[in-house]
Amino acid sequence: MKGEKLIKSVGSKTEEHEFYTPFPQGYKIGRTKYVVITGTVMSGLGKGIFSSSLAKVLQDYGLNCTPIKFDGYLNVDAGTLNPYRHGEVFVLDDGLECDMDLGTYERFLDKNLCEKNYLTGGKIFKRILYRERGGKYLGRDVQFIPHVTGEIKLFLRELAIDSKADVIFIEVGGTVGDIENAYFIEAMRQLAYEEGKENVSFVTLTYVLEPGFLGEQKSKAAQLGIRSLMSLGIQPDIIACRSNNPVTKKVREKISIYANIPFERVVSVHDVDSIYNIPGLVQKAGIDKEIIKILGLEKKIKKNTKAIKQWKNYVQRMKNKDNTITIGITGKYTGLRDSYASIIKALEHAGTYYKTKVNIKWIETTEIEDGKLNIIDALADVDGVIVPGGFGKRGAEGKISCIKFIRDNNIPFLGICYGFQMAVIEFARNVCGLKNANSTEIDDNTKHPVIDILPEQKEIEGLGGNMKLGGHNIEVKKGTLAYELFKSTKVRMRFRHRFEVNPEYIELLERSGMIFSGKAPNQPIMQILEIKKHRYFIATQAHPCFTSRPLRPQPLFLGLVKAALDQKKK
C-alpha cells in the first residue's frame, strides 16, 4: 500500500518533492519478490555460489528466479580487467563481458542471462550522466540520494518486468563497509522501504574465524561486520555463517543475540567437497523454507520433482568416480586458478558424465619460453592438453611449442580461442613450411600473417570495442569430428577475440591437411579446426566452456575426456 502511494506521489512532474523513484510502466509492487545477499568480514566468501544455490532450490520449487550481480568498481563492464586481479572474464550470449559469478548462475540455473543481470558502478553512473545531459532530471541537482539510488532501483524493477521473475536474487559484490558499494546498500534499504518488508528479504554471509592456535571458533569479527550492516539501516533476516567446519551452536547463539535474529535463521554454511552440494546444504539448514515464509511464497510452490532428482543424481555421480585422468592446461595465468574457472567447471562436468576424476596439471608457458621448464617433462604425465584463451605476446611461443609436441606425439588436444590461433601458427610453420608464420597481434611485421585482424574489425575503435563478443552460430561440416561431437550442422558458441585466420592462407592450410570443420555462416571466417589421423586434435575460436552445464556437458570437453580415457587405457 505504501509503495502504491509512492508511485502516485512521484508521478506528478509539477509537484516539488524529494522523491526520485521512477517505476517502469506496468510494474506492480509485490508481483516480484527480492532476496538481497550481502557479505561481511571479508570478500571471497562465495556469495555468488550461495545465491546460485538458493536460487536453484527455489527454481526447483517451481518459481521463476533470476539473479543480478552488482560490482562497485567504476568499469562499465569486466572486459578490460586483468584475470590476475578479478579472475575470469565471463561472456554472456548477448556479448556482455561480466564477472565470473554470472557463469556460476548460468550453470546452476541452466539458463542464459543477459546484460540486465549485471550492474557495475560505471554502468549506473554512465546511465545517470547520459540522462542528466539530456535534461531528464528536470533541473534538479543530481545527487547520490535520491538519483543514484533511484536509478539502481529502476534498473532492478526493469529486470523484474523483463524477466517476469517471481524472485530476483541481488548479489551485492564486495564487503559491507566498502565505499564502492555503500550507495548500492542504501538503494537496497530504500527498496525494502518502498516495496514493503514482505517483499524484500536480506541474507548476509559472514565468516566465523577458527584460528589454529586457539582451536575454537570465534564470532567477534562476524558480529562487528553484521553491526556495520545494521548501522546502514539493514536488518538481516538470515545470517549464513561461512567456516571451514560446521559452526557450533554456541557461536550461532551469540550471533543470534547480537544481530537480533531468531536462532533458527542463523545457519552454518561450512565448506563441502563440491559447490554442487551447497543446494542440499541450503535445504538441510532450512534457509529455503525461511525465505518462502518471509516472502509469503507458499501458494506459488510446486516442486519440480524431475529437476530435483536429476540434480541429486548428478551430485551422487560426482562422488562415484571409476577412473582418473590428468589434463594439462598450458597458460600464462596459472598463478590464479579463477582465471580459468569455466574451463575447470567444464572439465568437471565432462568428467562426471564419464564417472572420471579429472586432475589438472598447470603448465606455465612463459617458463617453457624462458627455458626454465622442459616441454618433455611438462607433458610427460598428461592424458590430454588444453591450450586456453589469452591475449598478447607473453607465453605464445611456449604454447606453440606445446602444440607441436602434442601433434607429434598424438596427445589428445583441445585448443580454445588463442589456443586455436596458436594451432594454426604451429601447423603453418611446421607442416606448411611457412617458417616465419605468426599472428599480427604478436608480430606486426610477420612475413606470413596467418592470423590477422579482419578489415571490418580494424575500423572499430577502442579497446574491447573491436572484439567479436557473445553468441554466434557456426556451420559445421558433415563427416568431421566436430559433426560427430555436436551431431548437428548448426551450433552456437560464445566468442571473445579480435583476430581470425587470414582468408589468404585457408587454401594452403587445408591442402596441407588441416580441416576447417566449422565456419561463420556465409563468411570465410574459420571457427573450428581439426586434424585427421590424430587421436583427438580439435580447436575452436570460441569459448565452449562458457556454455557447459552440469547436466549438459559441452561436447568438445566430452570428446577430450573420452579421448584422454582411451589414451590412458592404451
pLDDT digits (tens, 9 = 90+) for 145-167: 999 999 999 999 999 999 999 99
- Is there a domain that residue 6 lies in? no
Does the pLDDT value for residue 533 go beyond 50?
yes
C-alpha angle 432-435-437 in degrees, rounded to nearest 5: 85
Does the pLDDT value for residue 215 go beyond 60?
yes
Span 540-556, mean pLDDT? 97
Q: Are 384 and 413 in contact (CB under 8 A)?
A: yes
Residues 87 and 134 in one domain: yes
Residues 74 and 210 in one domain: yes
Rounded distance, CA 560 to CA 346, Å? Answer: 11
Q: What is the pLDDT of residues 2-20, one digit of tens each?
A: 555 555 544 444 456 777 8
Residues 458 and 337 in one domain: yes
Does the pLDDT value for residue 464 go beyond 50?
no
Q: What is the pLDDT of residues 359-387, one digit of tens each?
A: 999 998 888 888 888 899 899 999 999 99
For residue 200, the SS3 value is strand
563 φ, ψ (degrees, to nearest 5): -65, -40
Residues 269 and 411 in one domain: no
Residues 325 and 303 in one domain: no
The phi-psi region of residue 400 (left if phi > 0; otherwise alpha if psi is between -120 and 50; otherwise beta) is alpha
- Is there a domain that residue 3 lies in? no
Of 2-11, 199-208, 269-278, least confident by mean pLDDT is 2-11
Residues 119 and 235 in one domain: yes
Q: Are 62 and 196 in contact (CB under 8 A)?
A: no
Span 106-116, mean pLDDT? 97
Q: Look at residue 21 in the predicted model and tell me its pLDDT.
A: 84
Residue 200 or 134, more confident: 200
Which residue(s) pair with 494 in the sheet?
Answer: 471
Span 404-417, mean pLDDT? 96
Cis status of the peptide bond prior to 146, with omega within 30 of 0 = yes
Give which of 120, 133, 227 is closest to 183, Cα–Cα.
120
Under the banding of pLDDT at 50, 70 and 90, the label for residue 463 is: very low
Span 235-241, mean pLDDT? 96
Q: Look at residue 84 in the predicted model and tell me its pLDDT.
A: 65
Altogether, the residues listed in the chain come to a count of 570
Average pLDDT, the chain: 91
Domain limits for position 303: 33-311
CATH of residue 332's domain is 3.40.50.880
CA 216 to chain centre: 35
pTM of the model: 0.92
Rounded distance, CA 488 to CA 485, Å? Answer: 8
List Cβ neighbours of 465 (8 Å cut-off, separation of 6 or more): none
Domain boundary among 311, 331, 356: 311
* Proportion of the chain above pLDDT 70, given as a percent: 94
Q: Look at residue 12 in the predicted model and tell me its pLDDT.
A: 41
CATH of residue 215's domain is 3.40.50.300
Give which of 119, 43, 113 is closest to 75, Cα–Cα.
119
Residue 322 or 241, more confident: 241
- Distance in angstroms between the alpha carbons of the first and the last residue of the chain: 71
List Cβ neighbours of 132 (8 Å cut-off, separation of 6 or more): 142
Q: Look at residue 13 in the predicted model and tell me its pLDDT.
A: 47
Q: Are 31 and 196 in contact (CB under 8 A)?
A: no
C-alpha angle 352-354-357 in degrees, rounded to nearest 5: 55
Does the pLDDT value for residue 405 go beyond 70?
yes
Query: Half-sphere exposure of residue 292, counting CA atoms within 13 Å on the CB side?
Result: 21
Residues 298 and 344 in one domain: no
Rounded distance, CA 32 to CA 300, Å? Answer: 12
Residues 280 and 331 in one domain: no
Residues 259 and 232 in one domain: yes
Number of compact structural domains in the chain: 2
Under the banding of pLDDT at 50, 70 and 90, the label for residue 83 is: confident
Adjacency order of strands within the sheet including 323-331: 356-364, 323-331, 384-387, 413-416, 537-540, 526-531, 514-519, 468-476, 490-497
Rounded distance, CA 475 to CA 422, Å? Answer: 22
Q: Look at residue 457 in the predicted model and tell me its pLDDT.
A: 59
- Is there a domain that residue 19 lies in? no
- Is there a domain that residue 359 lies in? yes
Domain boundary among 253, 283, 311: 311
Rounded distance, CA 8 to CA 426, Å? Answer: 66
Domain boundary among 311, 331, 353: 311
- Is there a domain that residue 15 lies in? no
Q: Look at residue 428 in the predicted model and tell me its pLDDT.
A: 98
Rounded distance, CA 449 to CA 428, Å? Answer: 10
Residues 141 and 253 in one domain: yes
List Cβ neighbours of 243 (8 Å cut-off, separation of 6 or more): 207, 208, 210, 217, 268, 269, 270, 271
- Is there a domain that residue 306 lies in? yes
Span 238-244, mean pLDDT? 94
- Is there a domain that residue 17 lies in? no
Rounded distance, CA 394 to CA 265, Å? Answer: 50
**Alpha helices (runs of H) in 354-464, residue ranges in sequence order:** 365-369, 375-379, 396-408, 418-430, 455-458
Q: Which amino acid is at 201?
A: S
Residues 468 and 503 in one domain: yes
**CB burial string 358-390: b at 16+ within 10 A, e below:** bebbebbbbbbbeeebebeebbeebbbbbbbbb
- Is there a domain that residue 265 lies in? yes
